[in-house]
Amino acid sequence: MRKWLLFALVVWLAAGCRQAAVGLQLAGSTSVQPVAEVLAEAYARAGGSRVSVQGGGSTAGVQAVLNGVAGVGAVSRRLTPGERARGLAEHTIAYDVLAVVVHPDNPLTGLSRRQLRAVFDGSVTDWAQLGGRPGSIHLVSREAGSGSREAFRSLVGPVSPHAIIQSSSGAIRVAVMDDPRAIGYVNLAALQLGRLKALRVDGKAPGGPGYGLVRPLSLVTRATPAGEAAAFLRFALSPAGQQVISEEGLVPVRGQSKQN
């Protein structure tokens, strides 16, 4: 009896090992990582193989694809001409749009990107310096490691260590909509929930043409993707994949015609 139990245990463990085998490795940008993980889950539910998602940064992701460690890389920037020349292709799956938000009572309607940088690095500390109502500026930012924060840092500049930290776009929304002196940044999904005023940046409204605080999020493959990599890419760009992307607060690259 005992022997049989032991045997069953070994078989079960071995089966577990086989199940854990990974079909596809995805590595790269930590900004893409959260959405890539959700995509990987949805892909597995839709019958795809298991996708293991790792961070490491855009450049590490490109490197991983080049030396064959990962089938798919994730980047939150454009590929450089050098990288493209080495036989890689990028496929943009989503846009990450950051909206700079203030309390609806704030009289300001917009800032230049340079002003925005000065506000968030802590060198401008009073709304009067920006032509607003006098009062200290309350910065609200995301936590270190978050994709939005990383995007903000690369598109605008460093964030002062004095900034209030909230760990989701939703929490930033709550902090800003309650405080007439606050300024923060959120993704479009949080902005669309309302009770916030989005500032124009360099005269452009968020989500509109020419708006600056946008990053393409892309998957990187060999020039002609094949096998598992091609299948995952197809899923990411399919209606189901794009639905997952918009649920994560990103702007999908397909299916916007429905909204127009």
Partner 1 sequence: MQGALLACAVLSSAAVLLIALFVVAEGWPAVPGLLGDRWSPEDGLFGVRAMVWGSLAVTLGALVLAVPAGVGMALFLTEVASPALAGLARPLLQTLAGVPSVVYGFVGLSVLVPAIRRGLGGPGFSVLAGALVLGVMILPTIAAVAEDALRALPPAYREGAAALGATPWQTVRRVLLPAARGGITTAVVLGLGRAMGETMAVLMVTGNVAMAPTSPLDPARTLTGNIAMEMGYAVGRHREALFATGALLLALVMAVNALARRVGR
The site for partner 1 (CB under 8 A) is made up of 30, 33-34, 55-56, 138, 143-147, 153, 161-167, 171, 174-175, 178-179, 181-182
Q: Which two structure tokens, joined as six digits, stand for 126?
A: 């009073």
> Residue 80 has what DSSP assignment?
P
Q: What distance in Å separates the CA atoms of residue 64 and residue 52, rounded to the nearest whole number?
A: 13
Nearer to partner 1, 88 or 186 (CB): 186
Helix 227-237 with 239-247: angle, nearest 10 deg: 60
Q: Do 236 and 39 touch, CB atoms closer than 8 A?
A: yes
State the minimum distance, in angstroms, from the CB of residue 229 to partner 1: 23
State the minimum distance, in angstroms, from the CB of residue 259 to partner 1: 30
Nearer to partner 1, 88 or 139 (CB): 139
Nearer to partner 1, 60 or 237 (CB): 60
Nearest CA among 246, 101, 245 for reference residue 170: 101
State the minimum distance, in angstroms, from the CB of residue 128 to partner 1: 17
Q: What distance in Å separates the CA atoms of residue 134 and residue 202, rounded to the nearest whole number?
A: 22
Nearer to partner 1, 103 or 197 (CB): 103
> Residue 77 has what DSSP assignment?
S
State the minimum distance, in angstroms, from the CB of residue 140 to partner 1: 8
